[in-house]
A = this chain, B = another copy of it.
Amino acid sequence: MQNKKTDTPQTVLNTALTLFTKEGYFNTSVHDIARVSGVSVGSIYHHFKDKEGVARALYTLLLEDMSRELSAFQEQYESAYEQCHAVIKRMFMLTESDPERMEFMLYSKHREFLQNELPVCSSTPFKLMREMVQRGMDRGEIVEMDLMVASSCLYGGALRMITSRLDGIVEKDLMEYLDDVWICSWRAISVDDK
């Protein structure tokens, strides 16, 4: 267990997250990260291979955290209805409590700065989200159809609300819209006409 006050890599990652989301990856220089974080350029390069390495470490960590949370929902809830609802609720909450994390995770073009990285929708969290939908079809909760179509229609509305919120187009707390969004999303693909 290290002393958190001097955890240099974490300090760098925190600052990088802020700058990458506020200014964009390419508008942020390593000197910017050094200046804002208070860590020298040399130290940054000591802990990370290069600038891309900083972004990659950040991206990997955020995806892992998210995957852990989604896996927990799979164990915690039985039905796809509950699992998917928990996912959307959690993402709405995260958007409000930590918009930078959400923005970096699902609103940046990673392939432009992370070589050989797959698009977000190929990442583990998105795979887990599709697994839940597949489960819903197997259990007869969700109408049988192409998995990608069902997933897009179930999560698409919520994801657009999130990006709109991050863009500042939606002004109120996302949680106020959760119930309405969920009703529409579930109605789109559920078997019973409610």
Which positions in A face B, CB cutoff 8 Å?
Answer: 23-24, 26-27, 107-109, 111-113, 119, 121-122, 145-146, 148-161, 163-164, 167-170, 177, 180-181, 184-185, 187-189, 193-194
Closest 5 CB pairs of A and B: A156-B156, A153-B157, A24-B112, A26-B26, A152-B160
State A122–B169 Cα separation when bound (angstroms): 8
Chain B residues in 8 Å Cβ range of A109: 24, 107-109
State A146–B159 Cα separation when bound (angstroms): 16
From A164, which residue of chain B is reached at the shortest CB distance?
Answer: B121
From A165, which residue of chain B is reached at the shortest CB distance?
Answer: B148
Find out whether the CB atom of A169 lies under 8 angstroms from the CB atom of B24.
no
Identical subunits present = 2
Find out whether the CB atom of A149 lies under 8 angstroms from the CB atom of B180.
yes
Chain B residues in 8 Å Cβ range of A146: 177, 180
From A161, which residue of chain B is reached at the shortest CB distance?
Answer: B152
Q: Which of B24, B121, B181 contacts A152 (CB 8 A)?
A: B181
Find out whether the CB atom of A155 lies under 8 angstroms from the CB atom of B149.
no
Q: List 15 A-B contacts (CB under 8 A).
A: A24-B109, A24-B111, A26-B26, A108-B109, A119-B167, A146-B180, A148-B177, A152-B156, A152-B157, A152-B164, A153-B185, A153-B188, A185-B188, A187-B187, A193-B194
What's the nearest-Cβ distance from chain B to residue A180, in Å?
5
Chain B residues in 8 Å Cβ range of A160: 151-153, 155-156, 159
Find out whether the CB atom of A163 lies under 8 angstroms from the CB atom of B24.
no
Q: Which of B23, B149, B169, B170 contacts A161 (CB 8 A)?
A: B149
State A150–B177 Cα separation when bound (angstroms): 11
